[in-house]
Amino acid sequence: MSRLRLCTIFLLSIVSNYIGIVSSVSRFDDKTDTPIIGVLAQEISWRLDQIWPGVYESYIAASYIKFVEGGGARTVPIWIGKPRSYYETVLKKLNGVLLPGGGTWFNQSHGYAVAGSHIYDIAQEMNDNGIYFPLFGTCLGFELLLYVSNENQEYRTYCSSQKQSLPLDFNKDFQNSRLFGTAPESIIDILKNEAVTPNFHSYCVTKENMTQFGLDKKWDTLSTNRDFKGLEFISTIEHKRYPFYGVQFHPEKVLYEWIRNRNISHTEGAVASAQYFAQFFVNECRKNDNRFDSIDEENQMLIYNFPCTFTGRLNSTFEQSYLFERDIDYGRGNGENEDITVVLV
């Protein structure tokens, strides 16, 4: 064998080993660079149902889809009203789930809260079995995370925080958290000193709620705020054990909602801080290596299969919405006869 050929084989061996090492490190640090995140649908809003009476069964505000995409991921809609087996199947293909805000009853059969309860339980089981599976809840989704943690029992307090943009009042040890521990100091400064977190909620979670129902044993409070009447409420949480996170405010509105007179900040600092939450959650989802069985299956389930409607011009609180019709199956299945008791948000 010639010396040239030996040298070539030797170099190829070195390159192959190097690629193997780099690949293994990459898989360990970031298990996927193409994350796909589920976004839970919910019952059609009252306002949208007034525009199209009886036509649509569920919807997803497009700002939540864009929030995930802006963080570097793609999205799959997760349907309400399906049996637990559906959620078990779909979560095994996804890298995380976003529970969006909105306005719906928690006690509707086959609705948002029932689906969210299944998702929470399955995600908890997956993490217990060594599969890193993140959840992120916004506003109503934030409240749902705690609601499910409270055995599907009501725990919240009425408050007045509609169209209220605020800086965060961080807890003393907030930088020991996963959510803020690696945040750039510039982002912390913005969140601490500028009114960049828009709030739209009639219920609040207080420290007293957390203590009374034992939720403080499962969740860490990272920040608080005060509503228009001075009531202190919790604005940011993360689970002590699982990669579950919740914000009472709306970072997606800062980036993608432009309805006038909503008191939503769109300053450079507001956009940078809102983008931080999107990138943080997507990066958490990169740690999960779930996959679809095929590219065809993946393509069939992506949100790109559905049209997006300009609802902002129709007096909706959302600029754009994905609307899902009542008479289209969407692979829903028959659902289960389950009820969760609570009240409207």
pLDDT band at 331 (very low <50, low <70, confident <90, very high): low
What's the total number of domains in the chain? 1
pTM: 0.86
Q: Is 78 left (phi over 0), alpha (psi -120 to 50) or beta?
A: beta
Query: What is the predicted pLDDT for the residue at 105?
Result: 64
Residue 135 has pLDDT above 80, yes or no: yes
Q: Does 59 reside within a domain?
A: yes
- What pLDDT, on the 0 to 100 scale, is given for residue 120? 97
Q: How far apart are CA 145 and CA 142, in angstroms?
A: 5
Q: Is residue 279 part of a domain?
A: yes
Instruction: Please check whether residue 192 is in contact with residue 170, taking contact to mean a CB–CB distance below 8 angstroms.
Output: yes
- The model's confidence at residue 12, banded by pLDDT at 50, 70 and 90, is very low
Q: Is residue 70 part of a domain?
A: yes
Among 57-66, 72-81, 155-164, 298-307, the least confident range: 155-164
CATH number for position 158: 3.40.50.880
For range 99-119, the mean pLDDT: 83
Point out which residues pair with 322 in neighbouring strands.
Answer: 60
| pLDDT for the residue 49 | 87
Host domain of residue 260: 33-325
- Active site positions, annotated: 139, 250
C-alpha span between 345 and 139 (Å, rounded): 10
Burial 83-110 (b: 16+ CB within 10 A, else e): bbebbeebbebbbbbbbbbbbbbbbbeb
Residue 62: pLDDT above 90?
A: yes
- Counting residues of the chain whose pLDDT is more than 70, the rounded percentage is 84
More confident site: 4 or 164? 164
pLDDT at 74: 98
Tell whether 179 is covered by a domain: yes
Does residue 7 sit within a domain? no
Mean pLDDT of 335-344: 31
Predicted confidence (pLDDT) at residue 89 exceeds the cutoff of 60? yes
Query: Does pLDDT of 329 surpass 90?
Result: no
Mean pLDDT across 116-122: 97
Q: Is 8 a member of any domain?
A: no
Examine residue 64 and state whether it is found in any structural domain, yes or no: yes
Average pLDDT over residues 243-262: 94
161 three-state secondary structure: strand
**Both structure tokens of 145:** 């995370």
| CA pair distance 101, 315, nearest whole angstrom | 18
Strand pairing category for 97-99 and 135-138: parallel
The pLDDT score that the predictor gives to residue 98 is 98
Q: Give the chain's mean pLDDT.
A: 86
Residue 200 lies in a domain: yes
Q: Say if CB 248 and CB 231 are below 8 A apart.
A: no
